[in-house]
Amino acid sequence: MEPTLAVIGLNYRTSPVAVREQFWIAEPDRYDALHHLVRSEGIEEAIVLATCNRTEFILWANDVPAAANSVLRFLTQDYHLRLCDWSHFYRLMDDVALTHLFQVAAGLDSVVLGEPEISGQLREAGEQARNAGATGRFLDAVVQKALAISARVRAETALADSSLTFPYAAVELAIGVLGDLSGREVLLLGAGRMSELAAKRLRSAGATRLKVMNRTHAKGEELAQKLEAQAVSCDDRLTHLKTADIVVCSTSCPHSLISWEDARSIAQARHHKPLVIIDIAVPRNVDHRAGDIDGIYLFNLDSLEEVVKRDSKARRTATEAANKIVAEEVLGFRRRLLAERALPTIVALRQRLEELCQQEVDFLRKEFGPFTEDQDQVLSTLAAHITQRIAGSLARELREIPDRTDQDMLTVAVHRLFKLENTAPALEAGREN
């Protein structure tokens, strides 16, 4: 079976946040996952892309069913995958997988259309896999092409101009509970990019008192200075939670930072005055039961997704333009792959034609020679010209044929006609892929 691109994973379209957080792979664990996967059956190269909205295994697989089983065994062993969980996962191959990856990089497969963060996350995933020795020429090329497409989409469409972002959705949800945000106090748990964007949106909506709490205090202070906010200590977490009106949680902590008991204590201390908690972390930073407590309004990624699903004509137009770019790029990249795939046959064909023409020239020399130097040169030039014309014509057909199965059929025909060896693909493999 011939190697092919495959993507196995789950995302916000196929699973709720409760399922996504179960299979989210923490940064320190991704190297182990990569080392495990590239040693597994069916897999030649691997990238692990893990964000709050998706966990995907991007594979260059020499046997897709075997590769899928290897991923299944890995998730079962390390992440307690059950058979019912497998229904949340998708398995994409060939052009479908390529289209998916290009759409992901461009922000077309994100909750927030056009989000710029995903291209950076894909770049980091590719670099991590390369550092781990888990990628090679193929997946490196796919990632670089995906990033180039992302840049083109941002430059040529209005996809990234949408105001419907997670921070925008956070403001909408907060206003829905609290009304006017003027003078409200905001506590940021986490000092990452999403916290910064949310804080800026909330401030523009009227919130004036901003606090930043981060496990690494220096990083928290850095963001606080940038936002003209106050950096506060994690040791005083409950104190600041009791005075805040809006809490934005976006840390990478692998467990809950606000338990149900914490939330109940906070609500009681506030006399059940409304507190909006927006948890955009995976795994979630807040016990999901906290939303059942009177006065606690808990929203997670699924809640924000409902807000950003609102559509508009401008967004539809931008999406269509971006998808057109992706379709063009998939076609061009596929032709490049088919051209590479045809190269061994083209080389073998040229060598065979040169051999046949040389045999005919030698026969003519033997039967009708000896020839003058000029006549001999004419024969050699004619043989080379015939080789070039036939090989060039067939090479163009093999390179430019748009369908892989058609390329396989033509390749097999060329091999049979010219009796080439060792470079013909198996038609059965082509049909399976």
Per-residue confidence in pLDDT tens, the chain, 433 aa? 567 899 999 999 999 998 999 999 998 899 999 999 999 999 999 999 999 899 999 999 989 999 999 999 999 999 999 988 999 999 999 889 999 999 999 999 987 778 788 999 999 999 999 999 999 988 999 999 999 999 999 889 877 764 456 777 888 899 999 999 999 999 999 988 888 888 988 999 999 899 999 988 899 999 999 999 999 999 899 999 999 999 999 888 888 899 999 999 999 999 999 999 999 888 899 999 999 999 999 998 888 777 766 655 667 788 899 999 999 999 888 777 766 666 677 777 788 888 888 888 888 888 887 888 888 888 888 888 888 888 778 777 776 776 677 777 877 887 788 887 655 554 443 333 3
pTM score over 0.75? no
Question: What distance in Å separates the CA atoms of residue 277 and residue 194, rounded to the nearest whole number?
Answer: 15
Identify whether 52 is a catalytic site residue.
Answer: yes
Question: What distance in Å separates the CA atoms of residue 156 and residue 317, rounded to the nearest whole number?
Answer: 12
Give the list of residues 6+ apart from residue 335 with CB closer than 8 angstroms, or none.
399, 400, 402
Task: Express the helix, strand and coil content of the chain in percent, nearest 5 each.
Answer: 60, 15, 25
Which amino acid type is present at position 327?
A: A
Which amino acid type is present at position 35?
A: H
Catalytic entry in 52, 84, 234, 253: 52
Could you tell me the domains of the chain?
A: 4-161 (3.30.460.30), 166-308 (3.40.50.720), 338-432 (no CATH)
Q: What does residue 181 show for φ and ψ, rounded to 5 degrees? A: -95, 5
Alpha helix segments (H runs only) across 205-312? 217-227, 237-243, 260-269, 301-308
